[in-house]
Amino acid sequence: MEDTESDLRARAEQWAREDPDPGTRGELLALLSAPDLSKTDLADRFASALEFGTAGLRGILGAGPNRMNRAVVRRTACGLAEELNGSGTAGAERSVIVGYDGRRFSREFALDTALVLAAKGMIARLFSRTVPTPLVAYAVTHFGAAAGVMVTASHNPAEYNGYKVYGANGAQIVPPFDERLAARVAEGPAAVDVPLLEEADARSKGLLLDVSSDVETRYLEAIGGLAVNRGGDRSSRIVYTALHGVGDALARRALENAGFSSVVTVPEQSEPDATFPTVPFPNPEEKGAMDLAIALAEKEGAKLVLANDPDADRVAVAVPRRASAGYVQLTGNQVGVLLGHYLLTERATHAGEHRVVMTTITSSPMLSAIARALGVHYEETLTGFKWIANRAVELERAGEAFVFGYEEALGYAVGNIVRDKDGISAAAMIAEMFAVLAARGRTLLAEIEAIYRRYGLFVSTQINLTKHGAEGRAEIRAWMDRLRSRPPSRVGDYEVEAWYDYQAQVCTSRDGQRTPLSLPKSNVVAFALAGGSRIVARPSGTEPKVKFYFDVYEAVARDEPMADAELRAETAVKRLADAFVDMTARRSRR
């Protein structure tokens, strides 16, 4: 114990000596002065270093390698510059786009990044104010940049920040790029020794440039070009909220350009506020996050409610209930299915066009059923939009037309103007779909029911178990290991027909037959159940939790009331989730 504490103290003292930020350096020194280090969170701060997960680096703000701070950012920026220069993909004539949201230290992290890049002889194009994540992704391809950086923690709570890196194709980096970058960072200098130009010097040398507002105009024009049907009833009142993030101005302009002039924003949440005073967890998936927007919708009589998350790469939807007062929030899977079906059935196709739609292994299988019925190429990727975007680029190079991709966590990509999920272009397309259906006397809820009746009812649910600290990470690893080493043959009412170990890249059927999996290695285990249902288990790439996803399929009889079918499916998915969690808990006690 003494040796462990001594080692921890030595590493923390060294980090403090090498930390260029007096604020976080003082934070570490204060922790080191505590009489009992075990009563502090010092061990967790040094338990590991932040790694590129499903959406880049992300962590709690604070001192140490397992936190987001200027030391981590400068070393990452230095590694990125070394990788770009070393790989021959960048030079003085090419640039890196750098943007940031409204979180604490986002501006500082972005400026540090730009000045480190400039010190390495690269041009940094820095947004001069807060911007949405999709605008940064768009700017990478718009400028033909070598890479892009977006400082954001997306939908995480206020104590977090993060760091996304985009490649020259406009998509977030995947292996082997992220692995090479991590190696560059590990081999690089201490944070205090990372070269950094003064801002005035960088500007005078032409190595630090501001991104002009013209890129916003081009982005909005590109969104307008995605329109499938310019008709419909666009007079209905729409309520929009940015959830204290950076999406308000561009989202309203995108909607206005599409003909939606009656958009009302939630005033308390329209401006960036790093404290998120009305939504402690600013994720529109979370219960209560859309309460203010729905209250305003009730007051205004709005038929559609749209909510971006703080960096505007996600969008949530709420609509009036069918047979009672109030509003219902659609799930990410429901919105994804609605958009996918709308684009595949309404979008004009060209002769010889090979269309493709995509989603992730943790999203509803329903898009697969729709694509199969319509003769459209469908693929699944690992969780994280970086996989969808990079695969879309590959398929387009092979001559396929990427129409749409989504993930159940409210992320959607319409077309290829942004190689990431884009809550602004998706909001505009959702509004268009709403207007077109309204002109035909149909609602979004009526449309999803029609889709269920045609293709079958898929119901999904998710259970998250949060485990903090080093012990929590160890417990999550143990859960995943047990699922791999002792896969169940039955879960509740369902026989397990096959299990998928994406870490080992193999699928094993009930009779023992093993089939290789083509997706990249990932810490994910999935179970295919009898009747088309499914379970997926994976640790979160951005939060200290393990996530369990459950999908149940039910056929809908011709004259069966939809409420009866939905109740049957919802009861089945709840029983399945309860049985799986109970099984996991019992195994963990053995």
Indicate whether 42 belongs to any domain: no
* 156 vs 13: CA distance, rounded Å: 29
- Whether residues 199 and 265 share a domain: the answer is no
Where b means 16+ CB within 10 Å and e means fewer, 188-203 reads beebeebebbeeeebe
Indicate whether 16 belongs to any domain: no
Catalytic residue among 95, 154, 460, 533: 154
- Whether residues 369 and 430 share a domain: the answer is yes
Indicate whether 325 belongs to any domain: no
Indicate whether 128 belongs to any domain: yes
- Whether residues 59 and 203 share a domain: the answer is yes
Structural domain total, the chain: 4
- Whether residues 521 and 485 share a domain: the answer is yes
Indicate whether 537 belongs to any domain: yes
Please name the residue that has the structure tokens 């980096």: 173
* 25 vs 558: CA distance, rounded Å: 67
Active site residue 154: yes
CATH of residue 549: 3.30.310.50
**Run of H or E including 438:** helix 423-439
CA dist 343 → 44, 228, 234, 370 (Å):
46, 7, 18, 12
- Whether residues 206 and 82 share a domain: the answer is yes
- Whether residues 57 and 196 share a domain: the answer is yes
The parent domain of residue 410 ranges over 333-454
List the helix and strand counts (H, then E) for the chain: 18, 23
Handedness of CA 519, 521, 523, 528 (dihedral sign): positive
Tell me the pLDDT of the chain (590 aa) as tens digits.
344 889 999 999 999 999 999 999 999 999 999 999 999 999 999 999 999 887 889 999 999 999 999 999 999 999 999 999 987 654 445 899 999 999 999 999 999 999 999 999 999 999 999 999 999 999 999 999 999 999 999 999 999 999 999 999 999 999 999 999 999 999 999 999 999 999 999 999 999 999 999 999 999 999 999 999 999 999 999 999 999 999 999 999 999 999 999 999 999 999 999 999 999 899 999 999 999 999 999 999 999 999 999 999 999 999 999 878 899 999 999 999 999 999 999 988 887 889 999 999 999 999 999 999 999 999 999 999 999 999 999 999 999 999 999 999 999 999 999 999 999 999 999 999 999 999 999 999 999 999 999 999 999 999 988 877 777 788 888 889 989 989 999 999 999 999 999 999 999 999 999 999 999 999 999 999 998 899 999 988 666 788 999 999 999 998 899 999 999 999 999 999 999 988 877 766 65
Quick check: 340 and 369 in contact, CB under 8 A?
no
Domain end, chosen from 454, 481, 500, is at: 454
Q: Which amino acid is at 48?
A: S
- Whether residues 346 and 244 share a domain: the answer is no
Quick check: 383 and 525 in contact, CB under 8 A?
no
- Whether residues 247 and 280 share a domain: the answer is yes
Domain end, chosen from 418, 433, 454, is at: 454
CA dist 311 → 65, 159, 283, 352, 560 (Å):
24, 15, 10, 38, 42
- Whether residues 402 and 478 share a domain: the answer is no
Where b means 16+ CB within 10 Å and e means fewer, 235-273 reads ebebbbbbbbbbbbbbbbbbbeebebeebbbbeebbebb
- Whether residues 432 and 496 share a domain: the answer is no
- Whether residues 449 and 462 share a domain: the answer is no
Indicate whether 207 belongs to any domain: yes
CATH of residue 257: 3.40.120.10
Indicate whether 233 belongs to any domain: yes
Indicate whether 46 belongs to any domain: no
In terms of C-beta density within 10 A (0-12 exposed, 13-18 middle, 19 or more buried), how is residue 323 classed?
exposed
Q: Could you give the angle at the alpha carbon of 369 between the alpha carbons of 363 and 374, nearest 5°?
A: 130
Domain end, chosen from 171, 189, 212, is at: 212
- Whether residues 306 and 350 share a domain: the answer is no
